[in-house]
Chains A and B, each alone.
Chain A
Amino acid sequence: MDKRPGKIFPRNLTARASYQAAGNPAVTRLEDVVANCYPGLELDVRNFERRFFPGLIFEFVARDDNTASYTEPNRYGAWLRYVDYLLDPELQSEAPEAKRLLVDLMVHAGALGANGDWYLEWVEQGGRRLSMSLHNPDNPDYPLDGLYVWRLLRGLAPGALKIGLKRRAGGKEIVFEGWRRHFTDPVTGVINGAYQPGELLQSLCSPWQHDFRDCACMYWASNHPDAVFQQIEPGEPTLPGGQAADPLLANLKIDWLRAERSRDVTAAAGNTIAKNRPYQFDHFQINQEWQSLNVVLHDREIGSVYIPPREGLANPFASPEELARELREKLGPMEMALALEYLYARFSLLTPEEAGKSRWSTMTEDVTFIRGCLMIIATCEMQHLRWVNELLWILYDAGLTASYEPVLHPAAKLPDGKGGWRESSLRRLTPDALNDFINIERPSGFLDGAYSKVIATLRSPIYPAHAVELAERIDSDGVDHYSRFREVEAALKAYDKAEPPFPYLRALEVGGGEPVAGALAIYQNILDDLDEGYKEYARERFAEGAPLVNAARSKMNDLLKIGEKLAASGVGIPFWPQK
Chain B
Amino acid sequence: MTTVLEVRDLHVVFGEGHNKVHAVRGISFAVEKGECFGVVGESGSGKTTVLRALCGLNTSWQGQILIDGRPVPRRRDPAFCRMVQIVFQDPYGSLHPRHTVDRCLREPLEIQGIGQRDQRIADALDAVGLDRSFRYRYPHQLSGGQRQRVGIARALLLEPKLLLLDEPTSALDVSVQAEILNLLVRLRAERGFTYVLVTHDLSIISHMCERLIVMNVGRIVEAMPVKALRERTPENPYTQQLLQASLGYDRAAVERFQTFD
- Decide whether A and B are members of one complex: no
Q: Residues of A with Cβ closer than 8 Å to B?
A: none
